[in-house]
Chains A and B, each alone.
Chain A
Amino acid sequence: MKKKNSILERRKKVGQDVKNMVAHSMATVKEIYRILDKNGLTQKELAQRLGKFESEISKWLSGTHNFTYLTVGKIEAALGERLIITVSEAPIVMQFYSMTVKQGDDFVMSIPSERGSVLGIDKSQMLLDSEAEVQVEVRESCAQLN
């Protein structure tokens, strides 16, 4: 167990560039697998669509492949879906949630989100005579999620 603390310390020194590269590569691979699963496709079929050997596709899908945009473009074309969407391209997601509250109530509404967003509303902003259904509009974009 001698090195356990050492690797914990070492992990703190890992450059953000490497963390980003590993995260992007793994996320891209997850997205490929999600689309393959959704469409009932196999890795072999993806290889056939790309005109590549399955062994090469295996390397791409290992999680540390340094994808070029050209490769990503080819995979996207083969799958018929985008794998990578930039922040400015990402659609803003609008969702509506409703709940019943009374005047003077403090409430915190949990908004289901991958990042676990929580929305709180101050009671001073509420001008209600009695119980009322409140509709809350939540706008989330990729930029906010990150």
Chain B
Amino acid sequence: LPFFLSYPLFFINKGLILKLNLKVKRKVSIVPFEKHDQVVYYTIRFAGEEDTEFDKFFDKYDIDEFGEDFDIITEWLYKIGEEGAIERFFRPEGGRIGAIPVETNRLRLYCLRINECVVILGNGGEKTTRSYQEDPELNEYVQALRETEKHLMARMSSANPRASMYNCQLFGNLDFEIEITPETENEEKK
């Protein structure tokens, strides 16, 4: 075999992990969470689940081990609520996705910042890799928000919008079918 064909096969034989990128469709809804002076927070909930994505984050990390880190996120959400969701308060993760806090923390909470007064909270986790893409779990959380962003924006900007935003609140059909690569099916050994 020519070198350019045999080279990948060599690594497959050595047990290289191949990404299959299996996508699954999931139904998700945007649900209201909390209203502050300057910001209305929403979160997302997958169909058939009782907990929202922010609930899951809350349950996972409101524990002694992350006491101060969780405190910072809790206080930061409050401060942003009072000051407004200014772009610089979020670590940019592409598009309207941002993470809080930008610094001083082991935890990251991923958010979809629609504008200065509407923020959709997602799930989050402990930052152990340089970027979220390197962590399958965090990657899945960001994917869910990114897909939600794509569908929400398309729905709001279409000629016959089925969702809209008025006075810092979202209206209309806020249920979507999104495609994500689940963490458990992301990698398979060959």
Size of the chain A interface, CB-CB below 8 angstroms = 25
- Interface: B9 (CB within 8 A): no
Q: How far is the CA of A62 from the CA of B91 in the complex (A)?
A: 8
Size of the chain B interface, CB-CB below 8 angstroms = 32
**In the complex, chain A residues whose CB is within 8 Å of the CB of B31:** 1
Q: How far is the CA of A23 from the CA of B75 in the complex (A)?
A: 9
Given A2-B50, A3-B52, A18-B72, answer yes or no on A11-B78 (Cβ-Cβ < 8 Å).
yes
- Interface: A63 (CB within 8 A): yes
- Interface: B89 (CB within 8 A): yes
- Interface: B34 (CB within 8 A): yes
Which of B70, B71, B79 is within 8 Å of A63, CB to CB? B79
**In the complex, chain B residues whose CB is within 8 Å of the CB of A115:** none
* Residues in B119-153 with C-beta less than 8 Å from chain A: none
**In the complex, chain B residues whose CB is within 8 Å of the CB of A19:** 75
A35 to nearest B CB, angstroms?
A: 16
**In the complex, chain A residues whose CB is within 8 Å of the CB of B51:** 2
Q: How far is the CA of A136 from the CA of B70 in the complex (A)?
A: 48
Binary per-residue interface labels of chain A (1-25) against chain B in the complex, 1 for a CB within 8 Å, 0 otherwise = 1111011001101110011011100
- Asked if B79 and A26 make an inter-chain contact with CB atoms under 8 angstroms apart, the answer reads yes
- Asked if A64 and B52 make an inter-chain contact with CB atoms under 8 angstroms apart, the answer reads no
- Interface: A117 (CB within 8 A): no
- Interface: B32 (CB within 8 A): yes
B91 to nearest A CB, angstroms?
A: 7
- Interface: A139 (CB within 8 A): no
* Residues in B13-27 with C-beta less than 8 Å from chain A: none
- Interface: A111 (CB within 8 A): no
* Residues in A83-104 with C-beta less than 8 Å from chain B: none
- Asked if B103 and A59 make an inter-chain contact with CB atoms under 8 angstroms apart, the answer reads yes
B168 to nearest A CB, angstroms?
A: 17
- Asked if B33 and A64 make an inter-chain contact with CB atoms under 8 angstroms apart, the answer reads no
- Asked if A64 and B78 make an inter-chain contact with CB atoms under 8 angstroms apart, the answer reads no
Binds A, one of B54-62, B155-163, B172-180, B182-190: B54-62
Which of B75, B88, B105 is within 8 Å of A14, CB to CB? B75
- Chosen A-B contacts, 19 in total, with CB atoms closer than 8 Å, are A2-B51, A2-B52, A3-B52, A3-B54, A3-B55, A4-B33, A7-B58, A7-B74, A10-B70, A13-B71, A14-B74, A14-B75, A18-B72, A59-B103, A61-B88, A63-B101, A64-B76, A64-B100, A66-B104
Which residues of B line the A interface, CB within 8 A? 31-34, 50-52, 54-55, 58, 62, 68, 70-72, 74-79, 83, 88-91, 100-105
Known contacts A11-B78, A18-B75, A65-B104; can you find 13 more A-B pairs with CB under 8 A? A1-B32, A2-B52, A2-B55, A3-B54, A10-B70, A11-B75, A14-B75, A18-B72, A22-B79, A63-B76, A63-B88, A64-B76, A64-B103
